[in-house]
Structure 1
Amino acid sequence: MSKKRGLSVEEKRSRMMDFFYEKKDFFQLKELERLCQKEKGITSMSVKEILTSLVDDGMVDTDKIGTSVYFWAFPSKASQNRKRKLDDLTNKIKELDERKQFLEDSVKKAKVGKEDSDKRSEILSELEEKKQEKASLQKEIEKYRECDPEVLEAVIKQTGEAKEAANRWTDNVFSIKSWIKNKFQFEESVIDKQFGIPDDFDYIE
């Protein structure tokens, strides 16, 4: 014999709402735990959890009177909720229909003057040719970019800076050679050979 399947959460929620609609009365938690188990087969241990979920969803009302907390739900409120939901959905559909009509009208207007024709095809073909020509010219411009006055000016500036830096190092080399020559009485040719300094080493003009 197969084991009896327990109620799912949705089944418990549905049965508890049926209980409230049938009784049309106010109840405390302890009463619900006892009555829902007895009449709807909802275990008393799960009543509080199911009840809380229904309260959170606005399906069951609750209020504290004195030190006691009561719960209730009437069919009239459920009917009102369904009507409100239906009204909301109806309004949403209306908004979507209006939006759809607006987009369809916009598409129609956008198509005006763009109908397929020999003239339009000719213009589009010419436009494509011009785009390709532009791309080709841009590539050609890149070839001559180095002749751009701004580029040339930048190169000249960089060349001047490099020249100044090279001559500073040349000056440093001559100073060091002079110091070695005076300190150790070496011939200049010996110093050049020892440090790999070429014979034509000099400032850049």
Structure 2
Amino acid sequence: MDCDQQSRKGVSAEEKRKRLEKHFHETSDVFQLKEIEKIAPKKGIVAQSVKEVLTSLVDDGLVTTDKIGNSTYYWSFPSTAIQHKRNRLEDLKNKIKQEEEKKKMLEDAIVDAKIGREPSEEREEVLKELRQAQETERALSLALQEYKDKDPAMFAAKEKAAMVAKEAANRWTENIWTIQSYCVNQFGMDRKAFNQSFGLSEDFDTLP
């Protein structure tokens, strides 16, 4: 199927971005908007959508733009995309580190919480933060999975970062189990009552 046929059938916004970015990388040249609009149809991109696609690439840091005199120029080299991915990876690593620190604080809060009493506002707040931390952990793992699909060459480093976060989450879960066993053995507390007190579901478990 040629580009004209694909264009008539419709090309997704993400596919347009990939094709335009690829053209920049293949040519390693600098273009004005009108030049790109002439080239775009050959890539299966209608000229009317070029400006919108360019803007999205510029906003994401994948294409660089600068105004010289009365003209605006656009360019993107392979090194630009690599640096963008490295920056994104570093950002993900920092977020994972923040989540690990947050989980450590929450673990300490659980240990210090008063067990066996009626639910308190303090305990409810701790549980709320725990759930938010777990949701953020899952979101970060999904983001890393997306980067695995897009850039296999950098996957090893990202997989290691995801594994660190996963291990931290599982340690947190195991600590909960330790506290639960302590309350059951030392205070004769029912496991089901413990779970209800801390808002733990029946399928509460470590990450696979």
TM-score (norm 2): 0.49
Letter paired with 2:23: F
Task: Look up the match of 1:86.
Answer: 89
The alpha-carbon deviation at position 112 of structure 1 amounts to: 7.8
Identity %: 52
Residue deviations 1:156-182, cap 9 Å, x none? xxxxxxxxxxxxxxxxxxxxxxxxxxx
Question: Which of 100, 104, 110 matches 2:113?
Answer: 110
The alpha-carbon deviation at position 48 of structure 1 amounts to: 1.9
Please say if 1:95 is aligned against 2:105. Answer: no
The 5 A counterparts of 1:6-155 are: 6-38=10-42, 40-110=43-113, 115=183, 117=187
RMSD over equivalenced CA pairs, Å: 2.7
Residue deviations 1:16-66, cap 9 Å, x none? 11111111110011111112222x121222212211222233321111112
Task: Look up the match of 2:204.
Answer: none
Residue deviations 1:75-106, cap 9 Å, x none? 11111111111111111111111111221122
Q: Which moved more, 1:45-54 or 1:88-97?
A: 45-54
Residue deviations 1:107-151, cap 9 Å, x none? 123358984538x9xxxxxxxxxxxxxxxxxxxxxxxxxxxxxxx
Write the distance in 2 (CA, Å) between the matches of 1:35 and 1:19: 9
- How many pairs are equivalent? 117
Letter paired with 1:63: D
Return the index of the structure with the highest Cα Rg. 1
Write the distance in 2 (CA, Å) between the matches of 1:113 and 1:66: 73
Q: Secondary structure at the match of 2:67?
A: strand
Q: Secondary structure at the match of 1:59?
A: coil
Write the distance in 1 (CA, Å) between the matches of 2:48 and 2:115: 69
- Mind listing any 5+ residue stretches in structure 2 that lack a counterpart? 118-182, 190-208
Cα pair 1:60 1:73 within 8 Å, conserved: yes
Write the distance in 2 (CA, Å) between the matches of 1:63 and 1:117: 69
Write the distance in 2 (CA, Å) between the matches of 1:84 and 1:33: 30
Q: Secondary structure at the match of 1:11?
A: helix
1:27–1:108 distance in 2 versus 1, CA, 3 Å: same
Q: Which moved more, 1:50-59 or 1:105-114?
A: 105-114
1:37–1:113 distance in 2 versus 1, CA, 3 Å: closer
Write the distance in 2 (CA, Å) between the matches of 1:110 and 1:57: 44
Letter paired with 1:48: K
Write the distance in 2 (CA, Å) between the matches of 1:17 and 1:63: 17
TM-score (norm 1): 0.50
Letter paired with 1:97: E
Write the distance in 2 (CA, Å) between the matches of 1:17 and 1:80: 14
- Mind listing any 5+ residue stretches in structure 1 that lack a counterpart? 121-205
